[in-house]
């Protein structure tokens, strides 16, 4: 199964890199069809074996609540409120693509892997696939070769910004900061050629982060270093962390120097502006958010219920909301945004708890995941994710498999310690 899941990862990346649609019908592509067939194979295996036990149930509960409420508001918006221009079919397709497919991918990579070796192998496959796609994007815009399609912005505030293979520049940046800690963990834990490949993929991804010109991505990465360290303060060797931090600074300076040779305008216009004028980006976001909030406060009940799934697109706003949480609040109200935040919290806390119960390489990967999901959560304050969602859920699923295995192995050890304490007590008495 793990080789089939690895092929799925590389297929996803290839399709995104070349920009193929491969549509079979509205809401169904070759990517979806292949995903569903593999999921059916996995489900059949569990049926033959007599069923399965639900793992990480709190994650499923909160995400299931989000899907259920989105489905309910979608039906209400189309049948009861009947918004003008609201298309039920398009909304259902968006619901499937943005929410339900994520649950399927998460389940596939959580239950399709049974051992730590499976999860680590597939994680390295995902890191290498994304890293290669990012390296090819850099080579395309540098004029070294032309493989696939690498859009570059040509107007307004996206001028000269490289989009990469994973959607808008901000989407690509959010995916990169989510995976960068995993690149570090994989590089440190691997050996031989695998270490070299992981290091190369991580450096290419860091370079593309600069080329996206995503200030929100850079801020998310820096803040994740702070908040991630607070969450994992009892798990980290600060001497080793200092060495890694120094290495990152040196590598970062080298990457910036290399990028500036060919793409100095992006570095000057976007990255340096973040330091010289940090409030400029905030002003742009505020101009987008204020009309959205004004519409909600004009109908106070929507602060609790939301306007309905996929309604933002028909409300006449000029720009995308550039804030996942605010868009979710606008469409799905308190139930939607709380469900989503709680789901992210459960993923983070499960990985943190599992990291505390294990050691060595598994602990390194789990700590990296905590840093990554904190970075992703911060990046979502300034953007939305669409194209990178499959990779986000793949990493969620693989990390939760590592966490479940770590927690399961910790339980027998805890029970053994309890038995020993009881035996000592009885011997003394």
Tens of pLDDT along 97-124? 999 999 999 999 999 999 999 999 999 9
Predicted confidence (pLDDT) per residue in 156-205, tens digit: 677 778 888 999 999 999 999 999 999 999 998 888 899 899 989 998 99
- Average pLDDT for 311-327: 91
Q: How is the chain split into domains, by residue range? A: 2-408
pLDDT score recorded for residue 297? 93
pLDDT score recorded for residue 191? 83
Helix (H) or strand (E) holding 291: helix 279-298
Query: Is the pLDDT score of 418 beyond 70?
Result: no
Dihedral angle, C-alpha 188, 194, 198, 200, nearest 10 °:
120
Predicted confidence (pLDDT) per residue in 58-97, tens digit: 999 999 999 999 999 999 999 999 998 899 999 999 999 9
Distance between first and last Cα of the chain? 53
> DSSP letters along 338-389, please?
HHHHHHHHHHHHHHHHHHHT--HHHHHHHHHHHHHHHHHHHHGGG---STTH
Nearest CA among 409, 386, 408, 424 for reference residue 169: 386
Long-range contact list for 89-98, CB < 8 A, 24+ apart? 89/26, 90/310, 91/309, 91/310, 92/27, 93/26, 93/27, 94/309, 94/310, 95/67, 95/70, 95/71, 95/309, 95/310, 96/27, 97/27, 97/386, 98/386, 98/389
Residues 6 or more apart whose Cβ sits within 8 Å of residue 26: 89, 93
- Average pLDDT for 252-274: 61
Percent of the chain with pLDDT over 70: 85
pLDDT score recorded for residue 158? 74
């Amino acid at each position: 199964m793990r080789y089939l899941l690895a092929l799925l990862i590389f297929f996803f990346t290839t399709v995104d890199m070349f920009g193929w649609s491969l549509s079979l019908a509205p809401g169904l592509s070759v990517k979806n069809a292949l995903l569903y067939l593999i999921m059916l194979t996995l489900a059949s295996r569990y049926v033959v074996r007599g069923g399965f036990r639900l793992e990480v149930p709190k994650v499923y509960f909160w995400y299931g609540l989000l899907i259920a409420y989105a489905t309910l508001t979608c039906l209400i918006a189309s049948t009861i409120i009947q918004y003008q221009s609201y298309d039920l079919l398009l909304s259902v397709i968006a619901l499937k693509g943005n929410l339900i497919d994520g649950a399927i991918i998460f389940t596939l990579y959580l239950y399709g892997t049974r051992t730590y070796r499976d999860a680590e192998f597939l994680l390295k496959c995902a890191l290498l696939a994304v890293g290669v796609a990012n390296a090819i994007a850099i080579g395309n815009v540098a004029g070294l070769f032309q493989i696939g399609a690498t859009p570059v912005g040509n107007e307004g505030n996206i001028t000269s910004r490289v989009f990469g293979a994973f959607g808008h520049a901000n989407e690509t940046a959010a995916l990169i900061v989510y995976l960068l800690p995993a690149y570090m963990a994989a590089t440190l834990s691997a050996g031989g050629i695998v270490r070299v490949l992981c290091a190369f993929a991580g450096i290419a991804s860091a370079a593309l982060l600069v080329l996206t010109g995503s200030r929100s991505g850079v801020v998310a990465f820096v803040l994740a270093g702070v908040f991630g360290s607070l969450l994992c303060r009892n798990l980290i060797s600060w001497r080793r962390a200092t060495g890694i931090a120094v290495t990152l600074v040196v590598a970062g300076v080298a990457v910036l120097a290399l990028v500036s040779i060919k793409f100095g305008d992006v570095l000057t216009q976007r990255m340096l502006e973040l330091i010289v004028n940090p409030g400029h980006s905030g002003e742009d976001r505020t101009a987008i958010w204020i009309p959205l909030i004004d519409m909600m406060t004009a109908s106070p009940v929507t602060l609790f219920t939301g306007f309905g799934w996929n309604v933002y697109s028909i409300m006449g706003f000029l720009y995308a909301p550039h804030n996942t949480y605010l868009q979710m609040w606008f469409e799905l109200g308190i139930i939607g945004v709380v469900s989503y935040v709680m789901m992210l919290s459960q993923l983070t806390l499960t990985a943190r708890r599992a990291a505390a119960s294990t050691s060595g390489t598994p602990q390194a990967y789990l700590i990296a995941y905590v840093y990554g999901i904190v970075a992703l959560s911060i990046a979502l304050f300034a953007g939305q994710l669409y194209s990178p969602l499959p990779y986000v859920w793949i990493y969620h699923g693989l990390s939760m498999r590592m966490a479940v295995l770590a927690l399961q192995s910790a339980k027998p050890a805890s029970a053994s310690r309890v038995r020993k304490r009881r035996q000592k007590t009885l011997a003394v008495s």
